[in-house]
Amino acid sequence: MRRREFLTISAASLGGLLVYSLDGKAFRLSAEDTPIRIPLKFFSESEAGIVAAATERIFPSDETGPGAREAGVVIYIDRQLAGPWGRDQYRYTQGPFLTGAPDLGYQGKESPAEIYHEGLKQLQNFDRLSAEEQDAKLKEIESTHFFDLLRRNTIEGMFCDPMHGGNVDLVGWQMIGFPGPQVSYRDAVGKYFGEAYRPKPVSLKDGQPMEEQK
Amino acid sequence: MKALPNVDVLIVGGGWTGLTIAKELGSRTPLSVLVLERGPVHDPDDYPKEMDELDYAIRKHSGTKVQDCSKETATLRRSPSEQALPLRELGLLIPGTGVGGAGEHWGATAYRIMPDCFQVLSKTVEKYGTKRLPEDHSLKDWGITYDEMEPYYTRAEKMLGVSGKAGNIRGTIIPGGNIHEGWRSTEYPTPPTVTPYFASLFRDAAASLGYHPFPAPTATLSQAYTNPDGVSRPGCTYCGFCNMYGCMISAKAQPTGVLMPVIKKQRNVTIRTGAWVRRIVRDNSAKEARVRGVTYVDDMGEEVFQPADLVILATWTLNNTRLLLLSGIGEAYNPTTGKGAIGRNLTVDFKTPAARVLMEKPLNRFIGSAPTGIYVTDMEAGIINNTDLPFLRGGILRALNSGYQPIGTFGPVPKSIKNNWGSEWKKAAVYWYDRIEDIRWDGEGLAYRGNYMDLDPTYKDVHGDPLIRLTMDWRDNERQMADFGTKKGVEAARVMGAKEIIPYRGLGHFDANPYVVTQLRGGTIMGASPDDSVVNSFQQHFQASNLFILGSSVIPHAPSARPTLTIISMSIRVSDAIINRYVKSPGPLA
């Protein structure tokens, strides 16, 4: 069994928001809770620091809204890599592993978990670089399968249902105006032409939205 | 091997077509009917909990809703000189599994095929001569006509509760409906769904360009409806969790909501899940060629022989073809000699994002249902004049509001933004997220001698059986038509007042990455002769009269319309033929 690793972050960097524990329970951090330790399922502490920094450069926090750090993207990716997707449980993994045209899809033998472990070796000490140096480093690996995965996973972590560990407090959905799983837009469809209709977002854990429809 | 008691009718596959015939035979005859389905049972009461884009649309919840490709997939090559490689992840195709099959997560497009598609070869030659046909085409007439199909389309539309606006009722043209459609005996069961903002802009632009836009026919109900079987369902709430999801209120027609309520009442119908059929067993003792059942592996891993008087294969295009090849029932197609029929005419229609449109105002595009929106069929096959065009046949220009979720659709930006990560990209992608939508082109795919299926010599499934191998590429006819669709889409986008338009890059080569369509067609095609067809016009195997085949595998080419409504209608037709003729006098029906 692996040694239990923790991601140590200052609660202020999460803006005093929700995080999710290993068993999927949400707990709120307030800004006063100085350094907190979130248990990791897959990454080592140093790997988690690198992934947190890299995903923040891919999807930065800026004046248009929160980024990967506030959304908890690193926790999302950690949970995904520890789960069936990270282990390639549903991918066809019989050999031979031959190379072919890229448009025949990813043909490698390595699972997402293995691709991350390998890919992160190229980013040692990444979290200690300046923002400009970090961008230059990511530019170097931009065309790799690892980076493609990292970018895809960052978007997933920004906009997934919070039960997966990302999109903490629905920050991603609020930023783009996606309301999550809602009961009905029957009263809105055919209306609000040309104006933004923005119901308050809900997550699946907020309750079973369709119960009242039945 | 364990052998079970004989049944009258054995149906392999519990999706739209298999369950349609199970419902018809179960409720109209005393025959004992057994459906074998390798996936699990689906309970629509679970669907509200499944409104989760990550697990369902992105990870595709493998093994419970869609085929688990770690166990079985297909291989693909674009030409015989390329090494075929496995589709290691689902992307190009999203086949269903479990009771209801892909019918639980389908997009509910319910558009009838244009009449002349059924006679694609003779109608094309009649208009343009044989010289225009591509050199290596393998187009053929289907062996049934639209007029024969019309009553079955009507029955299927009533069963599903299709919402739409008729444009041609027995020859009377009705403005506002699809004036180019084949004649219909009656109006749609329910009126069209509500047209959302983006689609309404497209409708107005299309009308000003002289087209005849109309609301897309949807197997999602616009209002509460009770079908002829007495099954009641509510109207759509436009929640947007439609394509790739089961509908939690069954407003979308799905087998669990439309067929299972009837099937559950039939004591003569049994559905056995967890049954992975590996072979159809030939009856070598009979004078005429027949089959005598199937062998399957149950979910405990035990091999079972299930005998039956009549076997109906309803396992989707690729699996239907693969099971015949694995079982050696009929002759495999050889593209060099042109001999043999199993595997030939692998075809697919093509869907392109003809024009990606960036609009000034927000679109609220999370509101919608998969098929809700506007179609233009003025450029459909048989309507458009191909004389001066560099391609044959035609397609549909459309704008739908499918109800978008963010993971799959976040990211597109104006062309001036060169990065796809970092601050500049993020700002633009956030700003444009709800201002981007596609005008799409659905084009008809022709059939070619070189596009076919056979058994892969290298890759195997979890039981050690060879995977099906697809040899498939686009030809110039599809590429030219795609470019034409792009031109038309861009034209419409301009009239809509787009801030920016990103035209489709072109069709290039057949590609494993983007989703094309699950309903590949062909492999066990219907026709008049066993020389080039696997089944006759009643979808009965030429070499085994007690074996029928349902689904898109019998369709010899790929009209622009998604085939689901058509294959359900054809399954009702086969049910009638079995009940009215075959049961009374078993043997070849054509």
Q: Where are the domains of chain B?
A: 104-165+172-254+331-527+551-582
Beta strands in A56-113 (DSSP E): none
Shortest CA gap A116–chain B (Å): 18
- Nearest CB to B194; choose among A101, A184, A190: A190
Residues A123 and A186 in one domain: no
A112 and A173 inside one domain:
yes
Average pLDDT, integer, range B300-323: 97
- At residue A101, the pLDDT reads 87
Interchain CB contact of A132 with B (< 8 Å): no
CA of A64 vs chain B CAs: smallest distance (Å): 6
Closest Cβ opposite residue B239 in set A58, A104, A185? A185
Q: Does the distance separating the beta carbons of B70 and A214 come in below 8 Å? A: no
Q: What percentage of residues in chain B have a pLDDT greater than 70?
A: 99
Distance CA(B114)–CA(B133), nearest Å, equals 19
Q: What is the pLDDT of residue A21?
A: 53
Task: Identify whether residues A168 and A211 lie together within a single domain.
Answer: no
Own/partner pairs, A123-128, CB within 8 angstroms, 24+ separation: A123/A50, A123/A54, A124/A50, A126/A50, A126/A53, A126/A54, A127/A49, A127/A50, A127/A52, A127/A53
A213–B237 CB contact, under 8 Å: yes
Beta bridge partners of B7: B308
Q: Tell me: do A124 and A210 sit in the same domain.
A: no
Q: Choose from B50, B203, B237, B359 for mutation: most chain A CBs within 10 A.
A: B237
- A214 contact B CB<8A: yes
- Banded pLDDT at A198 (limits 50, 70, 90): very high
Q: CA–CA separation, B204 vs B201, rounded Å?
A: 5
Beta bridge partners of B86: B75
State the nearest Cα–Cα gap between A8 and chain B, in angstroms: 25
Among the partner-chain residues B69, B361, B368, the one whose CB lies closest to the CB of A91 is B69
What tokens were used for A15?
A: 């803006």
Tell me if A181 and B367 make a contact (CB, 8 A cut-off).
Answer: no
Distances (CA, A) of A144 to A115, A123, B519: 10, 13, 33
CA distance B186 to chain A (A): 27
State the best of B364, B365, B463, B468 to mutate against chain A, taking most chain A CBs within 10 Å. B364
Residue B178 clears pLDDT 80, i.e. is over it: yes
Q: List the single residue in B with minimal CA-CA distance to A108.
A: B88
Same-domain pairing of A138 and A71: yes
Cβ of A197 within 8 Å of Cβ of B364? The answer is yes
pLDDT value at A144 more than 60: yes
pLDDT for position B51: 93
Q: Are residues A152 and A188 in the same domain?
A: no
Taking CA–CA distances from B194, the nearest residue in chain A reads A190
Whether residue A147 sits in one domain with residue A79: yes
| Residues A80, A32 share a domain | yes
- The answer to whether residues B494 and B404 touch, using CB atoms and an 8 Å cutoff, is no
Q: Are strands B276-283 and B500-503 parallel, antiparallel or unpaired?
A: unpaired
- Lowest-confidence pick of A187-191, B178-182, B281-285, B575-579: B281-285
Q: How confident is the model at residue B339 (pLDDT cuts 50, 70, 90)?
A: very high
pLDDT at A208: 46
pLDDT, average across residues B283-293 = 85
Confidence of residue A211 (pLDDT cuts 50, 70, 90): very low
Residues A113 and A57 in one domain: yes
- Chain A contacts of B427, Cβ < 8 Å? 62, 64
In this predicted structure, the answer to whether residue B532 has a pLDDT above a threshold of 70 is: yes
pLDDT band, residue A25 (cuts 50/70/90): low
DSSP category for residue A209: T
User: Do A194 and A98 share a structural domain?
Assistant: no
Which spans in B44-170 are helix H? 53, 120-128, 146-160
B376 in Cβ contact with B463 (< 8 Å): no
Q: Tell me the pLDDT band of A33, cut-offs 50, 70 and 90.
A: low
Query: What pLDDT is attached to residue A212?
Result: 41
A48 contact partners, CB below 8 Å, separation of at least 6:
A5, A7, A40, A74, A78
Q: What are phi and psi of B180, to 5 degrees?
A: -95, -5
Check whether B460 has a pLDDT greater than 70: yes
pLDDT, tens only, B26-77 = 999 999 999 999 999 999 999 999 999 999 999 987 778 899 999 999 999 9
* B126 class by beta-carbon count within 10 Å (0-12 exposed, 13-18 middle, 19+ buried): exposed
pLDDT-derived band at B285 (thresholds 50, 70, 90) equals confident
pLDDT digits (tens, 9 = 90+) for B371-403: 899 999 999 999 999 999 999 999 999 999 988
Residue-by-residue DSSP string for B529-547? -TTT-SB-TTSBBTT-TTE
Residues 6+ apart with CB under 8 A from B173: B167, B179
Distance from the A10 Cα atom to the nearest Cα atom in chain B, whole angstroms: 23
Q: What is the ipTM of this complex?
A: 0.94
Partner-chain contact A90 B63, CB within 8 Å: yes
Name the residue among B111, B168, B118 with its Cα closest to residue B561.
B111
Alpha-carbon distances, residue B7 vs A35, A188, B17, B284, B287 (angstroms)? 68, 52, 19, 19, 21
Local structure of A186: helix, strand or coil:
coil
- What torsion do the CA atoms of B244, B248, B253, B254 make, to the nearest 10 degrees? 70
Q: What are the chain B neighbours of A154 within 8 Å (beta carbons)?
A: 421
Calculate how close chain B gets to A165, using CA atoms only, in Å: 12
Same domain, yes or no, for A49 and A98?
A: yes
Per CB-CB distance under 8 Å, the chain B contacts of A213 are 234, 237, 248-249
Our CA dihedral for B459, B463, B466, B472, rounded to 10 degrees, sits at -70
Pairing of strands B373-376, B214-215: antiparallel
Q: Which domain holds residue A211?
A: 179-214
**Tens digits of residue pLDDT in A62-95:** 988 999 999 999 999 999 999 999 999 999 999 9
Measured between CB atoms, does A97 come within 8 Å of chain B? no
Q: Which of A79, A90, A107, A147 best tests the B interface by mutation, with the highest count of B CBs <10 A?
A: A90
Residue B11: its H or E element: strand B7-12
Choose among B219, B226, B233, B231: nearest CA to B262. Answer: B231
Residue B576 to residue B152: CA distance in whole angstroms:
10
Cβ distance A176 to B410 less than 8 Å, yes or no, reads yes
Query: What's the number of domains chain A is made of?
Result: 2
Residue B65 CA: distances (Å) to CA of A33, B299, B515, B517 = 43, 16, 17, 17
Give the chain B residue whose CA is nearest to the CA of A195.
Answer: B362
B154/B402 Cα distance (integer angstroms): 25
Give the pLDDT mean for B480-503.
98
Q: A187 touching B, CB under 8 A?
A: no
**Closest to A162 measured CA to CA, from A98, A99, A214, A206:** A206
Amino acid at the residue A190: G
Q: Using the predicted structure, report yes or no on whether residue A106 has a pLDDT greater than 70.
A: yes
Q: Over pLDDT 90: what percentage of chain B? A: 94
Q: Do B197 and A59 touch (CB under 8 A)?
A: no
Shared domain for A163 and A204, answered yes or no, is: no
CB contact under 8 A, A186 and B362: no
pLDDT grade for B511, boundaries at 50, 70 and 90: confident
Return phi, psi of residue B90, to 5°: -75, 130
Q: What percent of chain A has pLDDT over 70?
A: 81
Q: Region B520-534: what's the mean pLDDT?
A: 96
Average pLDDT on A37-53 reads 93
Closest CA to B180 of B397, B21, B343: B397
Mean pLDDT of chain B: 96
Query: Which chain A residues in 44-73 lie under 8 Å from chain B, judged by CB atoms?
Result: 57-60, 62, 64-65, 67
CA of A121: how far to CAs of A5, A206, B389, B399, in Å?
Answer: 18, 39, 55, 46
- Say whether A104 and B197 touch across the interface (CB within 8 A): no
User: Which DSSP helix (H) or strand (E) runs through B282?
Assistant: strand B276-283
Measured torsion, CA atoms of residues B512, B516, B522, B523, in degrees rounded to the nearest 10: 30
Residues B400, B398: Cα–Cα separation, whole Å: 6
Is residue B516 predicted with pLDDT exceeding 90? no
CA-based nearest distance A162→chain B, Å: 10
